């Protein structure tokens, strides 16, 4: 690896927040098969084996983080959250934020066809970089690296699952049991613009009315829906004649 390439990779290391002891791991993680095939004289390995390893390391680390962060979640919920994080779309999005495409070594045809912006290539390269960190520093270092880089995705992934589950579950429950749909309304919002808190109420006909707080409307809605489900569970089971009109 020449000095120019080392200086180029230093820019990516700064974005990653990780300084490689052996930069050749990072260089390999950024080498696409098309480049290696077109430059056999360089005797460079492509990043496919690192990608395979990185996927396993990422899956294990994310699983460990989720189990510890959400001790009350079911296996099903944890699987949904993990699947929302360890897949091409969010990985490619994070790779774009880090501008990984600028550092890829691609064959001429792959480069001309827009390989630097292809989601599949970017996601694969990010997984390969994770493996490169693992090879360079071991599991503890890789775990810390993933925790730093993937923390926002952990939050949004969990939020997406919880919003969907509580609100969808409440709607299905109320339609089947009471033949009404939940109605959400913002009661109030308070706090400064950069740290606003919302209070949302959900009403199920005349049967249940609960409220929830959140940093955004979706979070407040899901907490209100969760409380409504808990309240409905405490009600006397319907006798078959129960009917609530909106």
Residue 242 falls in the annotated catalytic set: no
> Which pair of structure tokens corresponds to residue 55?
């996927």
3-state secondary structure of 133: helix
Cβ atoms of 29 and 125 closer than 8 Å:
yes
Cβ atoms of 145 and 208 closer than 8 Å:
no
Residue 127 falls in the annotated catalytic set: yes
Cβ atoms of 142 and 16 closer than 8 Å:
no
Alpha-helix residue ranges (DSSP H) falling in the chain? 3-16, 23-29, 33-38, 48-69, 75-85, 88-97, 108-112, 119-137, 139-178, 217-233
Which residue among 27, 46, 51, 55 is the active-site one? 55
Closest CA to 210 of 219, 218, 201: 201
Torsion angle defined by CA atoms of residues 85, 89, 92 and 97, in that order, rounded to the nearest 10 degrees: -80
Q: Which residues of 10-26 are buried (b: 16+ CB within 10 A; e: fewer)?
A: eebeeebebebeebbbb
Which residue among 27, 110, 127, 221 is the active-site one? 127
Residues catalogued as catalytic: 55, 127
């Amino acid at each position: 690896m020449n000095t120019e390439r080392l200086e180029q990779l230093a820019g990516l290391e700064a974005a990653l927040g990780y300084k490689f002891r052996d930069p050749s791991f990072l260089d390999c993680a950024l080498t696409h098969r098309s480049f290696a095939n077109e430059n056999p004289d360089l005797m460079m390995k492509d990043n496919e084996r690192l990608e395979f390893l990185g996927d396993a390391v990422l899956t294990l680390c994310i699983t460990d983080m989720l189990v510890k962060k959400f001790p009350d979640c079911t296996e099903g919920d944890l699987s949904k959250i993990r699947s929302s994080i360890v897949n091409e779309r969010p990985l490619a999005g994070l790779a774009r934020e880090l501008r990984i495409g600028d550092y890829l070594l691609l064959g001429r045809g792959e480069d001309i066809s827009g390989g630097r912006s292809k989601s599949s290539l970017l996601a694969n390269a990010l997984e390969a970089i994770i493996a490169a960190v693992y090879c360079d520093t071991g599991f503890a270092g890789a775990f810390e690296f993933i925790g730093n880089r993937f923390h926002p995705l952990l939050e949004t992934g969990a939020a997406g699952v919880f919003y969907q589950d509580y609100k969808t579950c409440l709607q299905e429950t109320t339609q089947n049991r009471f033949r009404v749909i939940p109605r959400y309304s913002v009661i109030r919002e308070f706090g400064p613009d950069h740290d606003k808190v919302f209070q949302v109420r959900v009403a199920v006909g005349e049967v249940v009315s609960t409220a929830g707080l959140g940093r955004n409307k979706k979070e407040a809605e899901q907490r209100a829906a969760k409380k409504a489900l808990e309240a409905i569970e405490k009600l006397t089971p319907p006798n078959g004649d129960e009917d609530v009109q909106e």
